[in-house]
């Protein structure tokens, strides 16, 4: 799916070479790109609300990427954010998700993978109309999903999901009562760079079951033998 011309991406990156390559590649894909070279400028630019996505480096002068992320979310700005983290900095990843990053990618990254993540996150967010009232909530049986705040409840119990678990759940719920193959799920939720890694789907389905179905009599997630998975309404 080619990106539409008006999708705007903010790159917050102090290393000029990386910022330049990202800008060129993203513009080549048809996005409009802005660049900020320190955390403070990044926060100011991100706060204008003009962006469809922010690529945010963690190690930045003036203000760290984590601090920028925290302030953006504190201000109630739901713009999707992909963190660029240094290799193996697990604490960065953890605090990134705690502060509301939607995804992260580890440096050094393959450009194709980064572009696939960008497309994936934009696609997921485009599914949520930004303004229409009442469109924020998806319900299925006793499951409620608030799309913009990314909160999930079963009955009244808040269920904490990682961004990927959330995206997997939304995909299955939006395609409720349809059998989905592991390959379909992979390409829709992870992006084409992950094709072949169907065991990822099994792993994440297991996580989701632990969080959503464990202890409930009515299971939402069903295994379709020889195919993949499906989410069903309790009485369907």
Distance CA 172, CA 176 (A): 6
Distance in Å, CB of 75 to Ca ion, minimum: 23
* Nearer Cβ to Ca ion (93/182): 93
Number of residues that bind Ca ion (CB under 5 A): 3
Q: Is 44 strand, coil or helix?
A: helix
Q: Please check whether residue 63 is in contact with residue 38, taking contact to mean a CB–CB distance below 8 angstroms.
A: yes
* Nearer Cβ to Ca ion (107/148): 107
Q: Please check whether residue 208 is in contact with residue 169, taking contact to mean a CB–CB distance below 8 angstroms.
A: yes
207 contact partners, CB below 8 Å, separation of at least 6: 162, 165
DSSP percent split of the chain into helix, strand, coil, nearest 5:
40, 20, 40
57 lies in the site for Ca ion, by CB under 5 A: yes
Stretch that binds Ca ion, among 13-21, 137-145, 165-173, 208-216 (CB under 5 A): 13-21
Distance CA 193, CA 149 (A): 27
200 lies in the site for Ca ion, by CB under 5 A: no
* Nearer Cβ to Ca ion (56/79): 56
From candidates 3, 11, 14, 120, binder to Ca ion by CB under 5 A: 14
Distance CA 102, CA 80 (A): 6
92 lies in the site for Ca ion, by CB under 5 A: no
Stretch that binds Ca ion, among 8-16, 42-50, 100-108, 152-160 (CB under 5 A): 8-16
* Nearer Cβ to Ca ion (25/213): 25
From candidates 8, 21, 25, 59, binder to Ca ion by CB under 5 A: 59
The site for Ca ion (CB under 5 A) is made up of: 14, 57, 59
């Amino acid at each position: 799916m080619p990106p539409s011309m008006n999708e705007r991406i903010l790159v917050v990156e102090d290393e000029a070479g990386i910022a330049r390559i990202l800008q060129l590649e993203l513009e080549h894909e048809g996005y409009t790109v802005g660049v900020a070279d320190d955390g403070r400028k990044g926060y100011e630019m991100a706060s204008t609300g003009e962006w469809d996505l922010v690529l945010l480096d963690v190690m930045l002068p003036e203000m760290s990427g984590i601090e920028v992320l925290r302030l953006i979310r504190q201000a109630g700005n739901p713009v999707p954010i992909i963190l660029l983290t240094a290799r193996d900095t697990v604490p960065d990843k953890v605090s990134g998700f705690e502060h509301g990053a939607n995804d992260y990618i580890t440096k050094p990254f393959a450009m194709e993978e980064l572009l696939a993540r960008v497309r994936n996150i934009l696609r997921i967010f485009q599914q949520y109309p930004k303004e229409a009232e009442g469109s924020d909530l998806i319900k299925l049986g006793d499951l409620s999903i608030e799309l913009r705040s990314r909160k999930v409840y079963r009955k009244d119990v808040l269920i904490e999901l990682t961004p990927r678990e959330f995206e997997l759940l939304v995909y299955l719920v939006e395609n409720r009562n349809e059998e989905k193959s592991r390959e379909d799920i992979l390409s829709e939720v992870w992006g084409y760079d992950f094709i072949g890694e169907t065991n990822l789907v099994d792993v994440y389905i297991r996580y989701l079951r632990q969080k959503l179905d464990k202890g409930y009599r009515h299971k939402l997630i069903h295994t379709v033998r020889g195919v993949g998975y499906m989410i069903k309404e309790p009485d369907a």
